[in-house]
Structure 1
Amino acid sequence: MFWVLLLLPAWAVAGVACARLCLAAVRAAAVGTTDAATAEGHDLTLYEAAFLCGGPRRVVDVTLVSMARQRRLLLARTGWATVVDPRGRDEMERSVIGAIGPEGQSLIAPVRAAAATAAPVRGMADRLVRAGLAVPEDGTGTTIVDGVRQVRFAALAVVGLGAAALLLPASSELPRHLVALWFALPLILTLSCLVIARIEVHPYARRASPAGQRLLGALHRGTHGAGDRTYLTSVAVRGVRAVGEPDLRAAFAHREHPHPRQGQDSGGARGH
């Protein structure tokens, strides 16, 4: 009967994860129907699309890419950002320039962290929530993306616990195939939740309500083609993996690395 001790946590993990996903979906649906009329008449900006698709840091990434393509900001392969034009054209650009600091040069990672929590991003988040396009974070911070991730983890945990139960010495009380059947039930629960979420709320936008997802759907269809606007829309929707320039993509690849010596990377930034 030792397998029962593994079955109980399997059910607990599956039940909690599925419940959180359902609550996140219900909360998103409630927000999406609150101001449906307002949401339908709203035209998403690039920053708003980036926020709904990837959260605050995606907004900063779009700002950095936009300024780098205009040569008003240099992003070195080593992960350093250097200000060329200190005059920001909007509040997000001014926030990024302020996060880089008075010396005009900084690693990308602290710039992303500082600008993502600055007043412009917080104000935009509040406006999107009031418009019914974004889901406010609750005390647990669980969104649909987080819920789907937790259910996937729960499914893997159930499989692992089930495998461990089958590896235990055989019991005369219950055949192995019945033990496997008991573990198949929470696995079916988690997989069913993932299938329903895939059908009902895919693509999984990190912050978007159903009304926001409808607007993002139009952006997804508009990311094919040429032009700077289309390029930046792709970055807003897909993140920095949509960046086409190898040097620029390499700069973002170094954003989470430890701080190197500034003397070496200052020269790299100027030589970009």
Structure 2
Amino acid sequence: MFWVLLLLPAWAVAGVACTRLCLAAVRAAAWDTGAAPADRDHDLTLYEAAFLSGGPARVAEVTLVSMARQRRLLLAHTGWATVVDPRGRDEMERSAIGAIGPEGQSRIAPVRAALATADSVRGLADRLVSAGLAVPEGSAADISSGVRQVRAAALAVLALGATALLLPGPTGMPRGLISLWFALPLALTLSCLAIARVEIHPHARWASPAGQRLLGTLARRA
């Protein structure tokens, strides 16, 4: 009956992980209910759409690419960014030029990382949260962490089940029934992941339901 000692932690990790994900989703839903009503006629700017679709990293990428397309910034295939026009037209561009540094040239990766954490990007995030279009950073992180924990729990259940089936000697129960017992916590984790995949939109880490609707409107216009 040693397999029972493996079944108990399988149920424990599956139950804890799924519970944490559900609680994170409930907290996010509670925030969305209490958030300020979003302006349905709000026209998203390029930076706002970038943040709602991919967060600070997407804003940094869009800023650099936009400047490069206007030939005010050179993005070389060798991984270097070179300033062509040092006059930023908005706070995002000024942050990008500042991240490149006074020499006017820097590697793209550190520039992108610095721009993603710049005050201008944080201010953009705060404005979108206040407008009810973006979710607070904590809620997004909690949901992402919950999904990762459920995935890890599913792998742990598989490993424990395989160990139980490979135990030498008599188990006191047919191995087919043992596999069914382990299939239950595995089904719990996989169903939780399936529901999260259906219910949690790819943009949900950054965009609130109202923000997702505005992004959908942009996609239909495109």
Q: State the match for 1:152 in structure 2.
A: 151
- Aligned match of 2:28: 28
1:29–1:72 distance in 2 versus 1, CA, 3 Å: same
Q: Hey, what does 1:117 align to over in structure 2? A: 117
Deviation, 1:120, is 0.7
Q: Residue 13 of structure 1 corresponds to which residue in structure 2?
A: 13
> 2:59 matched to 1:59?
yes
Q: Is there any run of 5+ residues in structure 2 with no aligned partner, and where?
A: none
Instruction: Give yes or no for the alignment of 1:128 onto 2:128.
Output: yes
1:133–1:210 contact (8 Å) kept in structure 2: yes
Please give the per-residue CA displacement for 1:112-147, whole angstroms capped at 9, x wherever unaligned.
221111111111111121122222133x97343443
Structure 1 range deviating more: 9-18 or 81-90: 9-18
Shift of 1:74: 0.8
Kindly provide the amino acid, as one letter, of the partner of residue 157 in structure 2.
Answer: V
Matched residue SS, 2:135: coil
Q: Which moved more, 1:13-22 or 1:89-98?
A: 13-22
Q: Which amino acid aligns with 2:194?
A: V
Structure 2 partner of 1:106? 106
* Residues 222 and 5 of structure 1, relative CA distance in 2, 3 Å threshold: farther
| Residue pairs, 1:1-272, within 5 angstroms | 1-35=1-35, 37-138=37-138, 142-223=141-222
Matched residues, number:
222
Letter matched to residue 70 of structure 1: Q
What CA distance in whole angstroms lies between the structure 2 residues aligned with 1:130 and 1:214? 17
Measured after TM superposition, the shift of residue 197 of structure 1 is: 2.0
CA distance in 2, matches of 1:184, 1:46: 47
Equivalent position of 1:229 in the other structure: none
Residues 1:142 and 1:23: Cα distance change in structure 2 (over 3 Å): farther
Change (3 A) 1:212 1:31: farther
Seq. identity, %: 77
| Equivalent position of 1:242 in the other structure | none
CA contact (8 A) 2:134 2:207 kept: yes
TM-score with structure 2 setting the length: 0.88
- How big is the shift at 1:214? 2.0
Three-state SS of the structure 2 residue aligned to 1:89 is coil
CA contact (8 A) 1:28 1:209 kept: no
Q: Which segments of structure 1 move beyond 4 Å, counting only runs of 4 or more?
A: none
Could you tell me how far apart the structure 2 residues matched to 1:221 and 1:150 are?
Answer: 35
- Residue deviations 1:157-215 (CA, integer Å, cap 9, x gap): 32222122211125342221221112111111112212222332333532222222222
Deviations 1:45-97 (A, max 9, x none): 22222222222111101101111111111111121111111111111111011
TM-score, normalising length: structure 1: 0.73
Q: CA RMSD in A?
A: 2.2
**Partner SS, residue 37 of structure 1:** coil
For 1:142, what is the secondary structure of its paired residue? helix
Q: Structure 2: how far apart are the matches of 1:172 and 1:144?
A: 39
CA gap 1:23/1:168 in 2 versus in 1, 3 angstroms: same
